[in-house]
Structure formats: C-alpha cells, structure tokens
Amino acid sequence: MPNDLKVFSGSASAELTQEICKYLCMEMGKSTVGRFSDGEISVKLNENVRGSDLFVVNSTSRPQDSHLMELLMMVDAARRASAGRVTAVIPYYGYARQDRKDQPRVPITARLVANLITAAGAGRVLTIDLHADQIQGFFDIIVDHLYATPVLVDFARREGLDNLVIVAPDPGSVKRARDFANRLHADLVIVDKRRKRANVSEVMNVIGDVEGRNAIVLDDMIDTAGTLVKAAQAVVDKGACSARACCTHPVFSGRAVENIEESCLEQVVVCNTIALTPDKLVPKIKVLSVARLLGEAIRRIHHGESVSSLFL
C-alpha cells in the first residue's frame, strides 16, 4: 500500500478540497496552477510526493476544457514525480451527457474523457452521481461511484416535512428517485417529459397522486432548470401543496438561476460538487457540502476499507 496520504486540488474545487482536508485533519497539498502568456495552463506540485497515496480533486465544470486539462496535468505531474498511487477525484464529471452515439458522426465524449484520465496516469477514479451509471464501464481502472443521496436525505429529514411525495422529473431519474423515496418512506411520482431538442423540454403528464402533498423533485443535475421548473409546475397544477427540489450538481447554465427564482419552487437544494459564484447564491438556493462524504471515501480507500458500506 502507498505511504503518506496527500490531497491536492485544481482551481475548480479548491474550497471543497479545503473542507475535505479539514475532515481528514490534514493540510492540503501545495501546488501552483497558472498560465503562460500565450494562455497555456501550467501546473506544479510544490512538495515531495514520492511513494505517496495521492488524490487530485477537480470537477470538470465550466470552463470544462480548462478544468479537465488541469486535472490531467496534475495527475501526470504526480505520476512523473513517482507517487505510489494517483486517484482522480472528480466531484462533477463533465461531458457525461455525451455517453452514446445518438446521432450519426458524433463522438462518445464521456468515453474519450475516461481514456484521457487513464492515459494521464490515474490508477483510480472517485466521483459523485454520474449522469449515467454505465460511464463506470468506460474506464479500464477502478471507479468508486458515490451517491449524494445520504447528504440530501439527511437534509430532507431535518426539514421535517410531512405527507411527502418524491418526483422523478423524467423516466431516467426513476431509479435515483425511488431510492430517495424509500429512505424517506415517501411515495414516488413520475413526470412524463418529451424533449423537442437539447435544453428544451415539455412536460406532458404526471403519473401518480400529488394532490395535497409536499413534493420534492429529485435529479442528478440542474442545467438550464427548464426540466426542473416545468416538473415542479406540473405537480403544483395537479394539486401539490408545495414544490421543492434536491439535485446534486448545480451546473446552472443560461438563465437557470432566473428560471428558479421566477418558478413555483420554494427551495432548491444542491451540493457543492460545482463551486457557485456569489451571483448564483440567491435565497431560494441552498448548498450542502459533500466534503465529509468525499473525505470519508478517501480515508477508506487509503486504508483499504469498504466504500460501498457508506450507502447501506
């Protein structure tokens, strides 16, 4: 087993990494991420990592290309500095929606990113709530796939809402929503959604009874918030007393924040897998930390303990 545990961060996840290191009672690894005058990214690990069990934390969030390149370069730097093992910790795995050929002459970019991370020298990947579970199979190295469900469920329990119903905003979210509903002993409702084109959705029907209930819409990410807002409006139109949302990744592109503020949603709970700028931290949005979840997973990986038992 590799020796000392070391945790480094790219620029996308510096604050989250500080929280992880605080949980682990250790200092964050010293590194420099900069740019040359022509715009090329430059990284350097500023301490000895020979033989260490090294974790590089960086979400591949916007700007996706830069943050992905940072991650690859830091992994490569660690490998060339003779780290004993290098794990890429990717709280938000970008390009995950490009996981299949749904049109002629398009790439499977989620697989391409997996190949790049492996080629850079990562021996393991730790990530949270992949958009599609099958992306784990795109890697030829070990993937520890965590779920933010325990973090979100704990929050929902503390809120103390009664007469709950959990809403899957589309059929692809049913598995996640069912698990969430089971943990809260709540019923499950599905919204039938027809998508006309990318980032444009249309709610067609609500399958299940929501009348007089407090609804929580559950999804893995919020992009433009179009699906989320329409699903919430659909259940309110069917008689729900209130509508809230719980999602892991706050991508928040375009008018997402404005759409949320103007919607019937009372609250939107997200995780800090993607760092939000102050202009996106509006009163309706609450951010929960996944630092303890990631920190405990890192500790268990380092000591060779079970990671899956985190979700039992």
Indicate which residues carry an active-site annotation: 193
- Both structure tokens of 160: 């103390």
Note the helical H segments in the chain: 14-23, 64-80, 109-120, 149-159, 174-184, 226-237, 256-261, 291-303
Q: Do the strands 242-250 and 214-222 form a parallel or antiparallel pair, or are they unpaired?
A: parallel
In whole angstroms, what is the distance from residue 102 CA to residue 105 CA?
Answer: 9
Handedness of CA 206, 128, 258, 245 (dihedral sign): positive
- Both structure tokens of 228: 């989320």
Three-state DSSP at 204 gives strand
In whole angstroms, what is the distance from residue 259 CA to residue 268 CA?
Answer: 12
Please name the residues in contact with 192: beta carbons below 8 A apart, sequence gap of 6 or more. 170, 171, 203, 204, 205, 206, 207
Which phi and psi (to 5°) does residue 148 adopt? Answer: -80, 0
- Both structure tokens of 109: 């970019």
